[in-house]
Structure 1
Amino acid sequence: MSSQRCLNRPIFLIIALLSIFLQACIDSGNDKIVSPPGYQLDKPQRFKMSENLLEISGIAFKNNEADTIYAVQDEDGRVFYFKPGDRKPAYTHFAKQGDYEDIGILHNRIIVLKSNGTLFTFPIEQIKQPKPSDVQQLKGILPKAEYEGLYIDNTTNKIYVLCKDCNTENGSLLNGGYIIDATDENNLKQTSTFQIALPKLSKKNGADEAFHPSALAKNPVNGLWYILSATNNLLLITDAEWRAKATYKLPHSRFTQPEGIAFDKEGNLYISNEGDEFENGNILKFTYNKPAVKK
Protein backbone atom coordinates (compact mmCIF):
# COMPACT_ATOMS: atom_id res chain seq x y z
CA MET A 1 0.00 0.00 0.00
CA SER A 2 1.34 3.45 -0.87
CA SER A 3 2.00 6.15 1.74
CA GLN A 4 -0.49 8.36 -0.12
CA ARG A 5 -3.23 5.78 0.44
CA CYS A 6 -2.44 5.74 4.16
CA LEU A 7 -2.60 9.55 4.28
CA ASN A 8 -5.94 9.56 2.49
CA ARG A 9 -7.60 7.36 5.10
CA PRO A 10 -8.20 10.09 7.74
CA ILE A 11 -9.38 12.50 5.04
CA PHE A 12 -12.08 10.16 3.79
CA LEU A 13 -13.11 8.65 7.13
CA ILE A 14 -16.33 10.65 7.35
CA ILE A 15 -17.17 9.82 3.74
CA ALA A 16 -16.52 6.15 4.44
CA LEU A 17 -18.78 6.10 7.49
CA LEU A 18 -21.53 7.87 5.57
CA SER A 19 -21.17 5.44 2.67
CA ILE A 20 -21.38 2.43 4.99
CA PHE A 21 -24.42 3.92 6.72
CA LEU A 22 -26.22 4.57 3.43
CA GLN A 23 -25.40 1.10 2.08
CA ALA A 24 -26.64 -0.45 5.32
CA CYS A 25 -29.89 1.45 4.92
CA ILE A 26 -30.22 0.19 1.35
CA ASP A 27 -29.52 -3.39 2.40
CA SER A 28 -31.90 -3.18 5.35
CA GLY A 29 -34.63 -2.02 2.99
CA ASN A 30 -34.22 -5.06 0.79
CA ASP A 31 -35.64 -8.49 1.38
CA LYS A 32 -34.21 -10.66 4.11
CA ILE A 33 -30.85 -12.17 3.19
CA VAL A 34 -31.40 -15.55 1.59
CA SER A 35 -28.74 -18.14 2.39
CA PRO A 36 -27.69 -21.48 0.87
CA PRO A 37 -28.85 -24.60 2.72
CA GLY A 38 -26.65 -25.17 5.76
CA TYR A 39 -25.34 -21.60 6.03
CA GLN A 40 -26.41 -18.22 7.41
CA LEU A 41 -24.93 -15.44 5.29
CA ASP A 42 -26.15 -12.86 7.79
CA LYS A 43 -24.16 -14.39 10.66
CA PRO A 44 -20.47 -14.56 9.73
CA GLN A 45 -17.45 -14.76 11.96
CA ARG A 46 -15.22 -11.93 10.75
CA PHE A 47 -11.42 -12.08 10.62
CA LYS A 48 -9.88 -8.69 9.87
CA MET A 49 -6.73 -8.72 7.77
CA SER A 50 -3.57 -6.71 8.38
CA GLU A 51 -2.54 -3.78 6.17
CA ASN A 52 -0.33 -5.97 3.98
CA LEU A 53 -3.35 -8.09 3.07
CA LEU A 54 -5.51 -5.15 2.04
CA GLU A 55 -5.80 -6.62 -1.45
CA ILE A 56 -6.23 -10.26 -0.47
CA SER A 57 -7.09 -12.02 -3.70
CA GLY A 58 -7.24 -15.73 -2.87
CA ILE A 59 -7.33 -18.18 0.05
CA ALA A 60 -6.77 -21.91 0.48
CA PHE A 61 -6.34 -24.68 3.05
CA LYS A 62 -4.02 -27.69 2.97
CA ASN A 63 -6.18 -30.80 2.87
CA ASN A 64 -9.14 -28.65 4.02
CA GLU A 65 -7.51 -28.31 7.46
CA ALA A 66 -8.70 -25.05 9.05
CA ASP A 67 -5.76 -24.55 11.41
CA THR A 68 -3.81 -22.51 8.83
CA ILE A 69 -5.07 -20.18 6.11
CA TYR A 70 -2.86 -19.61 3.06
CA ALA A 71 -3.47 -16.38 1.16
CA VAL A 72 -2.04 -14.50 -1.78
CA GLN A 73 -1.91 -10.72 -2.08
CA ASP A 74 -2.84 -9.14 -5.38
CA GLU A 75 0.40 -7.33 -6.21
CA ASP A 76 3.51 -8.04 -4.16
CA GLY A 77 4.36 -11.68 -4.96
CA ARG A 78 3.89 -12.89 -1.39
CA VAL A 79 2.15 -15.93 0.05
CA PHE A 80 0.89 -15.41 3.60
CA TYR A 81 0.10 -18.06 6.17
CA PHE A 82 -1.65 -17.56 9.50
CA LYS A 83 -4.11 -19.01 11.97
CA PRO A 84 -7.66 -17.64 11.70
CA GLY A 85 -7.81 -14.39 13.66
CA ASP A 86 -4.04 -13.79 13.61
CA ARG A 87 -3.44 -10.09 12.84
CA LYS A 88 0.29 -10.52 12.12
CA PRO A 89 0.56 -13.09 9.34
CA ALA A 90 3.93 -14.42 8.26
CA TYR A 91 4.80 -14.61 4.58
CA THR A 92 7.31 -15.75 2.01
CA HIS A 93 8.30 -13.70 -1.05
CA PHE A 94 8.01 -16.08 -4.00
CA ALA A 95 8.11 -13.67 -6.97
CA LYS A 96 8.40 -10.05 -8.04
CA GLN A 97 5.44 -7.71 -8.24
CA GLY A 98 2.63 -8.81 -10.53
CA ASP A 99 -1.09 -9.47 -10.77
CA TYR A 100 -1.69 -12.63 -8.71
CA GLU A 101 -5.26 -13.89 -8.68
CA ASP A 102 -5.55 -17.05 -6.60
CA ILE A 103 -3.81 -19.77 -4.63
CA GLY A 104 -4.21 -23.52 -4.15
CA ILE A 105 -2.29 -26.42 -2.63
CA LEU A 106 -1.54 -29.53 -4.69
CA HIS A 107 -0.64 -32.13 -2.07
CA ASN A 108 2.62 -30.64 -0.74
CA ARG A 109 3.12 -27.85 -3.26
CA ILE A 110 1.70 -24.35 -3.25
CA ILE A 111 0.45 -23.09 -6.61
CA VAL A 112 -0.26 -19.42 -7.33
CA LEU A 113 -2.12 -18.25 -10.43
CA LYS A 114 -0.99 -15.09 -12.19
CA SER A 115 -3.59 -13.25 -14.26
CA ASN A 116 -1.79 -14.11 -17.53
CA GLY A 117 -2.03 -17.86 -16.82
CA THR A 118 1.49 -18.40 -15.52
CA LEU A 119 1.60 -20.76 -12.53
CA PHE A 120 4.13 -20.34 -9.72
CA THR A 121 4.77 -23.38 -7.55
CA PHE A 122 7.06 -24.28 -4.66
CA PRO A 123 7.17 -26.88 -1.83
CA ILE A 124 4.95 -25.95 1.08
CA GLU A 125 7.73 -26.73 3.56
CA GLN A 126 9.67 -23.78 2.14
CA ILE A 127 6.99 -21.29 3.14
CA LYS A 128 8.90 -20.35 6.29
CA GLN A 129 11.88 -19.24 4.23
CA PRO A 130 12.07 -15.50 3.40
CA LYS A 131 12.23 -16.59 -0.23
CA PRO A 132 11.47 -20.19 -1.30
CA SER A 133 14.56 -21.81 -2.78
CA ASP A 134 12.69 -23.98 -5.30
CA VAL A 135 10.17 -21.77 -7.11
CA GLN A 136 9.09 -23.03 -10.52
CA GLN A 137 7.46 -20.67 -13.01
CA LEU A 138 5.24 -22.69 -15.34
CA LYS A 139 4.38 -21.01 -18.62
CA GLY A 140 2.53 -22.43 -21.59
CA ILE A 141 0.29 -24.87 -19.70
CA LEU A 142 -2.63 -22.49 -20.14
CA PRO A 143 -3.31 -20.55 -23.36
CA LYS A 144 -2.50 -16.86 -23.34
CA ALA A 145 -5.51 -15.11 -21.84
CA GLU A 146 -6.72 -13.42 -18.66
CA TYR A 147 -7.57 -15.62 -15.68
CA GLU A 148 -9.44 -15.06 -12.43
CA GLY A 149 -9.54 -18.05 -10.08
CA LEU A 150 -8.07 -21.46 -9.30
CA TYR A 151 -9.25 -24.55 -7.43
CA ILE A 152 -7.25 -27.73 -6.81
CA ASP A 153 -9.00 -31.06 -6.23
CA ASN A 154 -6.47 -33.36 -4.58
CA THR A 155 -8.80 -36.36 -4.72
CA THR A 156 -8.92 -36.30 -8.53
CA ASN A 157 -5.58 -34.53 -9.14
CA LYS A 158 -7.29 -31.87 -11.22
CA ILE A 159 -6.78 -28.11 -11.27
CA TYR A 160 -9.64 -25.87 -12.36
CA VAL A 161 -8.77 -22.40 -13.67
CA LEU A 162 -11.44 -19.74 -14.22
CA CYS A 163 -11.22 -17.51 -17.26
CA LYS A 164 -11.72 -13.78 -17.26
CA ASP A 165 -11.24 -13.37 -21.00
CA CYS A 166 -10.46 -16.58 -22.90
CA ASN A 167 -11.13 -17.53 -26.50
CA THR A 168 -10.95 -21.05 -27.92
CA GLU A 169 -11.56 -22.63 -31.31
CA ASN A 170 -15.14 -23.23 -30.19
CA GLY A 171 -15.76 -19.70 -28.93
CA SER A 172 -15.41 -17.74 -25.71
CA LEU A 173 -14.88 -19.22 -22.26
CA LEU A 174 -16.20 -16.11 -20.53
CA ASN A 175 -18.03 -18.19 -17.92
CA GLY A 176 -15.81 -21.24 -17.85
CA GLY A 177 -12.22 -22.28 -17.82
CA TYR A 178 -9.59 -24.95 -18.24
CA ILE A 179 -8.92 -28.23 -16.44
CA ILE A 180 -5.32 -29.28 -15.78
CA ASP A 181 -4.33 -32.90 -15.13
CA ALA A 182 -1.98 -32.93 -12.13
CA THR A 183 -1.54 -36.70 -11.80
CA ASP A 184 2.16 -36.15 -12.42
CA GLU A 185 3.05 -33.11 -10.31
CA ASN A 186 6.16 -32.57 -12.41
CA ASN A 187 4.27 -32.61 -15.70
CA LEU A 188 1.03 -30.63 -15.51
CA LYS A 189 -1.11 -30.84 -18.65
CA GLN A 190 -4.16 -28.86 -19.71
CA THR A 191 -6.60 -31.53 -20.86
CA SER A 192 -10.08 -30.06 -21.21
CA THR A 193 -12.41 -27.14 -20.57
CA PHE A 194 -15.53 -26.52 -18.53
CA GLN A 195 -18.45 -24.15 -19.10
CA ILE A 196 -20.81 -22.88 -16.40
CA ALA A 197 -24.47 -23.05 -17.40
CA LEU A 198 -25.68 -19.74 -16.02
CA PRO A 199 -29.21 -18.89 -14.91
CA LYS A 200 -30.94 -15.78 -16.17
CA LEU A 201 -30.01 -13.08 -13.68
CA SER A 202 -32.35 -10.28 -12.71
CA LYS A 203 -31.85 -6.80 -11.30
CA LYS A 204 -33.46 -8.05 -8.11
CA ASN A 205 -30.36 -10.20 -7.67
CA GLY A 206 -28.16 -7.17 -8.15
CA ALA A 207 -27.19 -8.32 -11.63
CA ASP A 208 -27.24 -5.29 -13.92
CA GLU A 209 -24.73 -6.93 -16.24
CA ALA A 210 -23.44 -10.34 -17.28
CA PHE A 211 -22.24 -12.73 -14.60
CA HIS A 212 -18.46 -12.66 -14.20
CA PRO A 213 -17.01 -15.40 -11.94
CA SER A 214 -14.05 -14.43 -9.78
CA ALA A 215 -13.37 -17.52 -7.62
CA LEU A 216 -14.56 -21.08 -7.16
CA ALA A 217 -14.37 -23.96 -4.68
CA LYS A 218 -15.97 -27.37 -4.27
CA ASN A 219 -17.88 -28.06 -1.07
CA PRO A 220 -16.45 -31.29 0.45
CA VAL A 221 -19.75 -32.08 2.17
CA ASN A 222 -22.16 -32.00 -0.77
CA GLY A 223 -19.85 -31.98 -3.81
CA LEU A 224 -21.41 -28.81 -5.24
CA TRP A 225 -19.48 -25.93 -6.80
CA TYR A 226 -19.65 -22.53 -5.09
CA ILE A 227 -18.70 -19.73 -7.47
CA LEU A 228 -18.23 -16.07 -6.53
CA SER A 229 -18.78 -13.01 -8.66
CA ALA A 230 -17.15 -9.88 -7.26
CA THR A 231 -18.64 -7.81 -10.09
CA ASN A 232 -22.21 -8.90 -9.37
CA ASN A 233 -21.76 -9.55 -5.63
CA LEU A 234 -23.33 -12.96 -6.10
CA LEU A 235 -22.73 -16.53 -5.00
CA LEU A 236 -23.67 -19.11 -7.64
CA ILE A 237 -24.04 -22.78 -6.74
CA THR A 238 -23.87 -25.45 -9.44
CA ASP A 239 -23.93 -29.22 -9.49
CA ALA A 240 -20.92 -31.34 -10.44
CA GLU A 241 -21.74 -30.84 -14.14
CA TRP A 242 -21.71 -27.02 -13.80
CA ARG A 243 -25.50 -26.70 -14.06
CA ALA A 244 -26.79 -23.78 -12.00
CA LYS A 245 -28.86 -24.66 -8.95
CA ALA A 246 -29.25 -21.28 -7.22
CA THR A 247 -27.85 -17.77 -6.87
CA TYR A 248 -27.55 -15.75 -3.69
CA LYS A 249 -27.13 -12.00 -3.35
CA LEU A 250 -24.11 -10.96 -1.24
CA PRO A 251 -24.89 -7.56 0.36
CA HIS A 252 -22.16 -5.02 -0.40
CA SER A 253 -22.29 -3.75 3.19
CA ARG A 254 -20.82 -7.09 4.29
CA PHE A 255 -19.12 -8.39 1.12
CA THR A 256 -17.12 -5.38 -0.07
CA GLN A 257 -15.29 -7.23 -2.85
CA PRO A 258 -15.54 -11.03 -2.63
CA GLU A 259 -12.45 -12.39 -4.38
CA GLY A 260 -11.56 -15.63 -2.56
CA ILE A 261 -13.45 -18.72 -1.43
CA ALA A 262 -12.54 -21.96 0.39
CA PHE A 263 -14.02 -24.72 2.53
CA ASP A 264 -12.57 -26.60 5.47
CA LYS A 265 -13.16 -30.32 5.95
CA GLU A 266 -16.24 -29.67 8.12
CA GLY A 267 -17.89 -27.81 5.26
CA ASN A 268 -17.48 -24.38 6.84
CA LEU A 269 -17.42 -21.68 4.16
CA TYR A 270 -14.79 -18.92 4.00
CA ILE A 271 -15.06 -15.86 1.74
CA SER A 272 -12.29 -13.27 1.53
CA ASN A 273 -12.95 -9.63 0.64
CA GLU A 274 -10.46 -7.10 -0.62
CA GLY A 275 -10.31 -3.85 1.31
CA ASP A 276 -10.21 -0.26 0.08
CA GLU A 277 -9.09 3.20 1.21
CA PHE A 278 -11.41 3.02 4.18
CA GLU A 279 -11.40 -0.58 5.39
CA ASN A 280 -8.94 -3.45 5.53
CA GLY A 281 -9.58 -6.75 3.82
CA ASN A 282 -11.28 -9.55 5.72
CA ILE A 283 -12.20 -13.22 5.71
CA LEU A 284 -15.76 -14.18 6.63
CA LYS A 285 -16.42 -17.64 8.03
CA PHE A 286 -19.87 -19.21 7.76
CA THR A 287 -20.34 -22.26 9.95
CA TYR A 288 -21.96 -25.25 8.29
CA ASN A 289 -25.02 -26.76 9.94
CA LYS A 290 -26.47 -29.81 8.24
CA PRO A 291 -29.89 -28.86 6.86
CA ALA A 292 -32.86 -30.64 8.34
CA VAL A 293 -34.35 -33.30 6.10
CA LYS A 294 -37.74 -32.23 4.79
CA LYS A 295 -40.45 -34.81 5.42
Structure 2
Amino acid sequence: MTTFLQQISLLALLTLGGCDSTKKEQVVYKDYDLGKPDKFNMPESLFEISGITLNQGNPDTVYAIQDEDGRLYRLGWDEPKQLNVKFSKKGDYEDVTIIKNNVYVLKSNGVIYNFPLTEAVFEEVEQIREIKKILPKGEYEGMFGDETSGKIYILCKNCEQDNAKRSITGYIIEPNKDSSQIAGQFSINVEEIKAITGKVERGFRPSGLAKNPLTNDFYIISAVNKLMVVTDSQWKVKEAYALNGNQFIQPEGIAFDKQGNLYISNEGDDLFSGSILKFKKISR
Protein backbone atom coordinates (compact mmCIF):
# COMPACT_ATOMS: atom_id res chain seq x y z
CA MET A 1 0.00 0.00 0.00
CA THR A 2 1.30 3.48 -0.86
CA THR A 3 1.89 5.60 2.24
CA PHE A 4 1.00 9.25 2.56
CA LEU A 5 4.70 10.21 2.51
CA GLN A 6 5.26 8.18 -0.68
CA GLN A 7 2.33 9.97 -2.31
CA ILE A 8 3.80 13.35 -1.36
CA SER A 9 7.22 12.32 -2.74
CA LEU A 10 5.68 11.12 -6.00
CA LEU A 11 3.74 14.38 -6.38
CA ALA A 12 6.93 16.38 -5.81
CA LEU A 13 8.79 14.41 -8.48
CA LEU A 14 5.99 14.88 -10.99
CA THR A 15 5.88 18.60 -10.26
CA LEU A 16 9.63 18.96 -10.75
CA GLY A 17 9.47 16.90 -13.92
CA GLY A 18 6.73 19.15 -15.26
CA CYS A 19 8.88 22.23 -14.58
CA ASP A 20 11.83 20.71 -16.46
CA SER A 21 9.58 19.84 -19.40
CA THR A 22 8.23 23.38 -19.57
CA LYS A 23 11.71 24.83 -19.43
CA LYS A 24 12.88 22.52 -22.21
CA GLU A 25 9.95 23.48 -24.44
CA GLN A 26 10.76 27.15 -23.97
CA VAL A 27 14.24 26.47 -25.31
CA VAL A 28 13.19 24.20 -28.16
CA TYR A 29 10.43 26.50 -29.36
CA LYS A 30 12.40 29.73 -29.09
CA ASP A 31 11.59 31.11 -32.57
CA TYR A 32 9.23 28.53 -34.07
CA ASP A 33 6.62 26.27 -32.55
CA LEU A 34 7.74 23.01 -34.13
CA GLY A 35 4.58 21.31 -32.88
CA LYS A 36 2.15 23.50 -34.82
CA PRO A 37 2.88 23.54 -38.55
CA ASP A 38 0.75 24.49 -41.49
CA LYS A 39 0.95 21.24 -43.49
CA PHE A 40 0.93 21.01 -47.27
CA ASN A 41 0.61 17.41 -48.51
CA MET A 42 2.46 16.83 -51.76
CA PRO A 43 0.96 15.36 -54.94
CA GLU A 44 2.03 11.83 -55.85
CA SER A 45 4.75 13.14 -58.18
CA LEU A 46 6.55 14.61 -55.14
CA PHE A 47 6.21 11.61 -52.83
CA GLU A 48 10.02 11.59 -52.60
CA ILE A 49 10.49 15.34 -52.34
CA SER A 50 14.14 15.98 -51.48
CA GLY A 51 14.76 19.73 -51.73
CA ILE A 52 12.84 23.02 -51.71
CA THR A 53 13.57 26.68 -52.29
CA LEU A 54 11.88 30.05 -52.77
CA ASN A 55 12.94 32.69 -55.26
CA GLN A 56 14.17 35.72 -53.29
CA GLY A 57 12.13 34.55 -50.32
CA ASN A 58 8.83 34.94 -52.16
CA PRO A 59 6.31 32.47 -50.66
CA ASP A 60 3.93 32.55 -53.63
CA THR A 61 5.73 29.71 -55.42
CA VAL A 62 7.57 26.77 -53.91
CA TYR A 63 10.23 25.21 -56.13
CA ALA A 64 10.98 21.56 -55.39
CA ILE A 65 12.83 18.52 -56.65
CA GLN A 66 12.53 14.83 -55.87
CA ASP A 67 15.43 12.45 -55.67
CA GLU A 68 14.72 10.23 -58.64
CA ASP A 69 13.46 12.44 -61.45
CA GLY A 70 15.42 15.23 -63.14
CA ARG A 71 12.58 17.74 -62.96
CA LEU A 72 12.07 21.06 -61.23
CA TYR A 73 8.54 21.37 -59.80
CA ARG A 74 6.58 24.55 -59.13
CA LEU A 75 3.70 24.71 -56.65
CA GLY A 76 1.42 27.33 -55.18
CA TRP A 77 1.02 26.86 -51.43
CA ASP A 78 -1.68 24.29 -50.66
CA GLU A 79 -2.44 23.86 -54.38
CA PRO A 80 -2.31 20.14 -55.31
CA LYS A 81 -1.57 20.83 -58.97
CA GLN A 82 2.11 21.10 -59.85
CA LEU A 83 3.93 22.26 -62.98
CA ASN A 84 7.40 21.02 -63.88
CA VAL A 85 10.28 21.26 -66.32
CA LYS A 86 12.67 18.45 -67.24
CA PHE A 87 16.34 19.42 -66.83
CA SER A 88 18.08 16.02 -66.88
CA LYS A 89 17.61 12.26 -66.88
CA LYS A 90 16.80 10.20 -63.80
CA GLY A 91 19.31 10.46 -60.96
CA ASP A 92 19.81 11.12 -57.25
CA TYR A 93 18.98 14.83 -56.91
CA GLU A 94 19.14 16.18 -53.37
CA ASP A 95 18.70 19.96 -53.16
CA VAL A 96 17.81 23.06 -55.13
CA THR A 97 18.44 26.79 -54.82
CA ILE A 98 17.77 29.92 -56.88
CA ILE A 99 20.12 32.92 -56.99
CA LYS A 100 20.26 35.80 -59.45
CA ASN A 101 17.41 34.22 -61.46
CA ASN A 102 19.42 31.03 -61.95
CA VAL A 103 18.41 27.56 -60.76
CA TYR A 104 21.02 25.25 -59.23
CA VAL A 105 20.26 21.59 -58.52
CA LEU A 106 22.64 19.47 -56.44
CA LYS A 107 23.17 15.81 -57.27
CA SER A 108 24.33 13.51 -54.48
CA ASN A 109 27.74 13.01 -56.15
CA GLY A 110 28.47 16.75 -56.06
CA VAL A 111 27.57 17.62 -59.65
CA ILE A 112 25.55 20.85 -59.93
CA TYR A 113 23.01 21.48 -62.70
CA ASN A 114 22.42 25.11 -63.64
CA PHE A 115 19.85 26.74 -65.91
CA PRO A 116 18.02 30.10 -66.14
CA LEU A 117 14.85 30.39 -64.07
CA THR A 118 13.09 31.74 -67.17
CA GLU A 119 13.25 28.21 -68.64
CA ALA A 120 11.21 26.77 -65.78
CA VAL A 121 7.99 27.56 -67.67
CA PHE A 122 8.83 25.21 -70.56
CA GLU A 123 8.55 21.43 -70.83
CA GLU A 124 12.30 20.91 -71.07
CA VAL A 125 15.37 23.01 -70.32
CA GLU A 126 17.55 23.91 -73.31
CA GLN A 127 20.30 25.97 -71.68
CA ILE A 128 21.55 23.39 -69.18
CA ARG A 129 25.05 23.56 -67.71
CA GLU A 130 26.74 20.92 -65.55
CA ILE A 131 29.31 22.04 -62.98
CA LYS A 132 31.55 19.03 -62.43
CA LYS A 133 34.74 18.05 -60.62
CA ILE A 134 34.73 20.98 -58.23
CA LEU A 135 33.74 19.26 -55.02
CA PRO A 136 35.79 16.39 -53.55
CA LYS A 137 34.37 12.90 -53.97
CA GLY A 138 31.63 12.22 -51.45
CA GLU A 139 27.91 12.33 -50.79
CA TYR A 140 26.20 15.73 -50.66
CA GLU A 141 22.63 16.67 -49.77
CA GLY A 142 22.47 20.21 -48.35
CA MET A 143 22.84 23.39 -50.42
CA PHE A 144 22.00 27.07 -49.91
CA GLY A 145 22.36 29.94 -52.39
CA ASP A 146 22.90 33.46 -51.04
CA GLU A 147 21.03 35.97 -53.22
CA THR A 148 23.10 38.91 -51.94
CA SER A 149 26.60 37.52 -52.45
CA GLY A 150 25.78 35.11 -55.26
CA LYS A 151 27.68 32.34 -53.46
CA ILE A 152 26.53 28.76 -52.95
CA TYR A 153 27.12 26.84 -49.70
CA ILE A 154 27.22 23.03 -49.86
CA LEU A 155 27.51 20.57 -46.96
CA CYS A 156 29.04 17.10 -46.99
CA LYS A 157 26.81 14.33 -45.79
CA ASN A 158 29.39 11.58 -46.10
CA CYS A 159 32.89 12.52 -47.29
CA GLU A 160 36.19 10.69 -46.89
CA GLN A 161 37.98 13.73 -45.47
CA ASP A 162 35.46 14.00 -42.61
CA ASN A 163 34.89 12.14 -39.39
CA ALA A 164 31.15 12.57 -38.93
CA LYS A 165 31.56 12.11 -35.17
CA ARG A 166 33.89 15.13 -34.98
CA SER A 167 33.30 17.59 -37.81
CA ILE A 168 31.52 18.10 -41.11
CA THR A 169 33.02 20.07 -44.00
CA GLY A 170 31.21 22.59 -46.15
CA TYR A 171 32.27 24.37 -49.34
CA ILE A 172 31.60 27.85 -50.70
CA ILE A 173 31.29 28.04 -54.48
CA GLU A 174 31.30 31.11 -56.71
CA PRO A 175 29.32 30.08 -59.79
CA ASN A 176 29.94 31.85 -63.08
CA LYS A 177 29.45 31.07 -66.75
CA ASP A 178 33.12 30.53 -67.53
CA SER A 179 34.63 28.59 -64.63
CA SER A 180 32.94 28.07 -61.29
CA GLN A 181 35.34 27.45 -58.42
CA ILE A 182 35.57 26.85 -54.68
CA ALA A 183 35.96 30.20 -52.94
CA GLY A 184 36.40 28.78 -49.44
CA GLN A 185 35.37 26.12 -47.00
CA PHE A 186 34.07 25.82 -43.44
CA SER A 187 33.42 23.15 -40.85
CA ILE A 188 30.79 22.34 -38.23
CA ASN A 189 32.06 21.01 -34.92
CA VAL A 190 29.96 17.95 -34.05
CA GLU A 191 31.15 18.15 -30.44
CA GLU A 192 29.24 21.43 -30.14
CA ILE A 193 26.08 19.59 -31.20
CA LYS A 194 26.77 16.81 -28.70
CA ALA A 195 27.02 19.39 -25.92
CA ILE A 196 23.35 20.22 -26.54
CA THR A 197 21.93 16.85 -27.57
CA GLY A 198 23.23 13.29 -27.49
CA LYS A 199 21.63 12.32 -30.80
CA VAL A 200 24.85 12.23 -32.83
CA GLU A 201 26.57 9.16 -31.41
CA ARG A 202 26.89 7.66 -34.91
CA GLY A 203 27.90 10.93 -36.51
CA PHE A 204 26.11 13.97 -37.92
CA ARG A 205 24.66 13.50 -41.43
CA PRO A 206 23.15 16.77 -42.73
CA SER A 207 20.48 16.65 -45.43
CA GLY A 208 19.42 20.29 -45.84
CA LEU A 209 20.76 23.84 -45.39
CA ALA A 210 19.20 27.31 -45.33
CA LYS A 211 19.86 30.77 -43.88
CA ASN A 212 17.36 32.70 -41.78
CA PRO A 213 17.10 36.16 -43.44
CA LEU A 214 16.16 37.85 -40.15
CA THR A 215 19.08 36.56 -38.07
CA ASN A 216 21.65 35.40 -40.67
CA ASP A 217 21.87 32.13 -38.72
CA PHE A 218 22.26 28.92 -40.71
CA TYR A 219 19.72 26.13 -40.15
CA ILE A 220 20.78 22.56 -40.90
CA ILE A 221 18.48 19.55 -40.85
CA SER A 222 19.42 15.89 -40.67
CA ALA A 223 16.94 13.16 -41.59
CA VAL A 224 19.30 10.50 -40.23
CA ASN A 225 19.67 12.16 -36.83
CA LYS A 226 16.17 13.72 -36.73
CA LEU A 227 17.78 17.03 -35.78
CA MET A 228 17.70 20.69 -36.72
CA VAL A 229 20.92 22.51 -35.85
CA VAL A 230 21.31 26.29 -35.77
CA THR A 231 24.70 27.97 -36.21
CA ASP A 232 25.78 31.60 -36.36
CA SER A 233 27.25 33.13 -39.51
CA GLN A 234 30.66 31.72 -38.54
CA TRP A 235 29.23 28.18 -38.22
CA LYS A 236 29.46 28.01 -34.45
CA VAL A 237 26.60 25.84 -33.13
CA LYS A 238 24.06 27.84 -31.13
CA GLU A 239 21.10 25.46 -30.81
CA ALA A 240 20.03 21.92 -31.66
CA TYR A 241 16.40 20.82 -31.87
CA ALA A 242 15.24 17.19 -31.70
CA LEU A 243 12.58 16.63 -34.37
CA ASN A 244 9.53 14.51 -33.63
CA GLY A 245 9.68 11.46 -35.90
CA ASN A 246 5.88 11.23 -36.05
CA GLN A 247 5.74 14.65 -37.70
CA PHE A 248 9.10 14.85 -39.43
CA ILE A 249 8.94 11.56 -41.33
CA GLN A 250 12.10 12.16 -43.35
CA PRO A 251 13.12 15.84 -43.32
CA GLU A 252 15.20 16.52 -46.42
CA GLY A 253 14.57 20.12 -47.53
CA ILE A 254 14.58 23.45 -45.71
CA ALA A 255 13.94 27.07 -46.70
CA PHE A 256 12.85 30.46 -45.35
CA ASP A 257 10.63 33.13 -46.84
CA LYS A 258 11.46 36.82 -46.54
CA GLN A 259 9.20 37.16 -43.47
CA GLY A 260 11.36 34.60 -41.67
CA ASN A 261 8.81 31.77 -41.79
CA LEU A 262 10.41 28.32 -41.84
CA TYR A 263 9.62 25.54 -44.35
CA ILE A 264 10.73 21.90 -43.98
CA SER A 265 9.93 19.21 -46.55
CA ASN A 266 9.53 15.52 -45.76
CA GLU A 267 9.74 12.51 -48.02
CA GLY A 268 6.77 10.17 -47.71
CA ASP A 269 6.70 6.61 -46.40
CA ASP A 270 4.30 3.64 -46.40
CA LEU A 271 1.71 5.55 -44.37
CA PHE A 272 2.16 9.23 -45.26
CA SER A 273 2.55 11.29 -48.41
CA GLY A 274 5.40 13.70 -48.92
CA SER A 275 4.79 17.07 -47.30
CA ILE A 276 6.03 20.57 -46.62
CA LEU A 277 5.59 21.94 -43.10
CA LYS A 278 5.44 25.70 -42.62
CA PHE A 279 6.27 27.23 -39.23
CA LYS A 280 5.41 30.87 -38.69
CA LYS A 281 7.95 33.08 -37.00
CA ILE A 282 6.91 33.69 -33.40
CA SER A 283 6.30 37.41 -32.86
CA ARG A 284 7.90 38.98 -29.81
Give the structure-1-normalised TM-score: 0.82
8 Å CA contact retained: 1:205, 1:248: no
Partner of 1:107: 100
Computed over aligned residues only, the root mean square deviation of the Cα atoms, in angstroms, reads: 2.0
Please list every run of 5 or more consecutive structure 2 residues that lacks an aligned counterpart in the other structure.
1-19
8 Å CA contact retained: 2:102, 2:115: yes
Aligned pair partner of 1:214 in 185, 207, 229:
207
Partner of 2:114: 121
In the alignment of these two chains, the number of paired residues is 259
Aligned AA for 1:219? N
Q: Distance in 2 between matches of 1:193 and 1:200?
A: 19
Instruction: Please identify runs of 4+ aligned residues in structure 1 that moved more than 4 A.
Output: 30-34, 171-174, 202-208
Secondary structure (helix, strand or coil) at the match of 2:194 reads coil
CA shift for structure 1 position 202: 7.6
CA shift for structure 1 position 167: 3.7
Aligned AA for 2:62? I
- Identity among equivalent pairs (%): 43
Are 1:60 and 2:60 an aligned pair?
no
1:38-53 residue pairs with structure 2 within 5 A?
38-53=31-46
Could you report, residue by residue, the CA deviation over 1:177-197 in whole angstroms, capped at 9, with x for unpaired residues?
111023x45432112211012
Bigger drift between 123-132 and 202-211 goes to 202-211
CA shift for structure 1 position 164: 1.7
Aligned AA for 1:238? T
Are 1:197 and 2:197 an aligned pair?
no
Q: Distance in 1 between matches of 2:196 and 2:224?
A: 13
Against the structure 1 CA distance between its residues 44 and 148, is the aligned structure 2 distance closer, same or farther, given a 3 Å change threshold?
same
Are 1:227 and 2:220 an aligned pair?
yes
8 Å CA contact retained: 1:57, 1:71: yes
Against the structure 1 CA distance between its residues 189 and 36, is the aligned structure 2 distance closer, same or farther, given a 3 Å change threshold?
farther
- Mark the structure with the bigger radius of gyration: 2
Secondary structure (helix, strand or coil) at the match of 2:119 reads helix
Against the structure 1 CA distance between its residues 267 and 185, is the aligned structure 2 distance closer, same or farther, given a 3 Å change threshold?
farther
Could you report, residue by residue, the CA deviation over 1:32-72 in whole angstroms, capped at 9, with x for unpaired residues?
65534221111100000011101100000111111100001
Against the structure 1 CA distance between its residues 39 and 200, is the aligned structure 2 distance closer, same or farther, given a 3 Å change threshold?
closer
Secondary structure (helix, strand or coil) at the match of 1:66 reads coil
Aligned pair partner of 2:89 in 85, 89, 96:
96
CA shift for structure 1 position 204: 6.6
Please list every run of 5 or more consecutive structure 1 residues that lacks an aligned counterpart in the other structure.
1-29
